[in-house]
């Protein structure tokens, strides 16, 4: 009798992952970028990160207590939202504005739509766009080593297209020249938001998520590949590898592609849908960066595509094995 097979209902393939473990794995993957951001920008960055995380936790706790909902502050989602929001802000961003953005992320974007699993867009990005619209000046003010100026992406976008990217990045002297070299864009010694400056730190975290299969490769790979093709075709600089590398290392492209576009709640679950989602992200980011007024565009691209997820999933639902498609509308 011991050799008899047990028959149970589906699902037959189970995984030990949980919402909590996934959230904390993503937080762990962001540790390299967070640590480097604090090293790069100093105590102000650490304070801003702590403020955003604590505010998100308190906002979720107070809301759920007032609404008599189950407490979920220990699942890691509020911590991740606060961390992602802080990493998308400048280290000199006013504290009170960061608190306002954190409350907006948790209460407006997340809790008012039913909490984790029901939000229609990434809460951290929703808050970032809210802050960008409300406080554009503070959101686009970046300081590094005491120098306030344009980010490398802005330098490239506003520079003479007849001039090489290497020359544009090397414009200026002293710390300004050092801060805009391509190597420092990869390592992170440049101006920008706390978590977006070091491509190396972000790639380390992305590798961790991909190796553990916390995220699927389809979205980030399709996103980055589509964006690369778009900027090479329409960027106005031809097949310039330095230009492409600067676009990859500068701004929030890597942070968005690996840590926010792959959010389980606001991205498609169908295999084909993930590919379509990634392609749309690459196209929109390319349009915003090449033809838009701003040098960035990742946040708006992801939010717009978040809104398209229901439609993407509807048209990419796999047909069950053995089931024929509709014929003549019947």
For 273, other C-beta atoms within 10 Å of its C-beta total: 23
- Residue 174 pLDDT level (bands cut at 50, 70, 90): very low
> What confidence score (pLDDT) does residue 170 get?
65
- Residue 36: band (very low, low, confident or very high) from pLDDT cuts 50, 70, 90: very high
With cut-offs at 50, 70 and 90, classify the pLDDT of residue 162: low
What is the rounded average pLDDT of the residues 208-223?
95
Query: How many Cβ atoms from other residues are within 10 Å of residue 112's Cβ?
Result: 12
Domain residue ranges of the chain, discontinuous segments joined by +: 19-139, 215-316
How much is the pLDDT for 11? Answer: 52
Coil, strand or helix at 143 = strand
Question: What pLDDT score does 271 carry?
Answer: 92
How many helices (H) and strands (E) the chain has is answered by 17, 2
In whole angstroms, give the CA distance from residue 169 to residue 194. 20
Q: Which residue has the tokens 């090397």?
A: 170
Residues 6+ apart with CB under 8 A from 5: none
- 273-321 residue pLDDT tens: 999 999 999 999 999 999 987 778 899 999 999 999 999 999 988 777 6
pLDDT value of residue 178: 43
Q: How much is the average pLDDT of 196-224? A: 95
pLDDT at 325: 53
Question: Cα separation of 224 and 244, whole Å?
Answer: 11
Q: What is the pLDDT of residues 131-152, one digit of tens each?
A: 999 998 888 877 766 556 667 7
pLDDT (0 to 100) of residue 225: 97
d(CA 296, CA 113): 28
Rounded to two decimals, the pTM is 0.86
Q: What is the per-residue burial (b if ≥16 Cβ within 10 Å, else e) of 312-328?
A: bbeebeeeeeeeeeeee
Residue 26 pLDDT > 70: yes
State what percent of residues in the chain have pLDDT above 70.
82
- Average pLDDT of every residue of the chain: 85
The answer to whether residues 115 and 140 touch, using CB atoms and an 8 Å cutoff, is no
Q: Determine the pLDDT at residue 173.
A: 38
The residue with greater pLDDT, 91 or 239, is: 91
pLDDT tens column, 237-262: 888 888 898 889 888 999 999 999 99
Q: Give Cα separations from 16 to 7, 85, 243, 267, 271 (angstroms).
A: 21, 28, 43, 22, 22
Please choose, from the candidates 171, 168, 140, the residue with its C-alpha nearest in 3D space to the C-alpha of residue 156.
Answer: 168
Check: CB of residue 204 under 8 Å from CB of residue 36.
no
Distance CA 125, CA 108 (A): 12
* CA separation for the pair 78, 313 (Å, rounded): 26
User: Mean pLDDT throughout 86-90?
Assistant: 94
- pLDDT at position 128, please? 94
CA distance 301 to 121: 11
Give mean pLDDT, residues 38-63.
95
């Amino acid at each position: 009798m011991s050799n008899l097979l047990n028959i149970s209902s589906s699902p037959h393939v189970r995984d030990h992952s949980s919402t909590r473990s996934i959230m904390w794995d993503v937080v762990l993957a962001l540790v390299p970028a967070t640590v480097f951001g604090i090293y790069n920008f100093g105590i102000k960055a650490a304070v801003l990160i702590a403020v955003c995380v604590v505010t998100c936790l308190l906002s979720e706790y107070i809301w759920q207590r007032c609404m008599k909902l189950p407490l979920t502050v220990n699942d890691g989602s509020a911590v991740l939202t606060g961390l992602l929001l802080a990493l998308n802000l400048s280290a000199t961003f006013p504290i009170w504005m960061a608190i306002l953005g954190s409350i907006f992320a948790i209460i407006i974007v997340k809790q008012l739509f039913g909490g984790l699993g029901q939000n229609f867009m990434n809460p951290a990005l929703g808050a970032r766009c809210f802050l960008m619209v409300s406080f554009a000046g503070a959101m686009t003010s970046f300081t590094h080593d005491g120098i306030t100026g344009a980010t490398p992406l802005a330098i490239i976008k506003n520079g003479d297209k007849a001039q090489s990217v290497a020359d544009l990045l090397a414009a200026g002297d002293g710390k300004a020249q050092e801060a805009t070299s391509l190597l420092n864009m990869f390592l992170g010694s440049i101006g920008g938001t706390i978590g977006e400056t070091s491509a190396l730190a972000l790639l380390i975290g992305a590798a961790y998520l991909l190796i553990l299969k916390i995220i699927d490769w389809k979205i980030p790979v399709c996103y980055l590949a589509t964006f690369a093709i778009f900027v090479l075709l329409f960027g106005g600089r031809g097949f310039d590898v330095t230009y492409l590398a600067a676009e990859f290392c500068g701004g929030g492209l890597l942070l968005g592609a690996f840590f926010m576009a792959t959010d389980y709640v606001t991205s498609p679950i169908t295999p084909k849908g993930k590919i379509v989602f990634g392609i749309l992200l690459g196209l929109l980011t390319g349009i915003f960066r090449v033809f838009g007024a701003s040098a960035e565009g990742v946040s708006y691209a992801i939010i717009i595509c978040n809104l398209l997820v229901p439609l993407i999933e509807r048209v990419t639902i796999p047909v069950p094995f053995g089931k024929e498609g509709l014929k003549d509308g019947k």
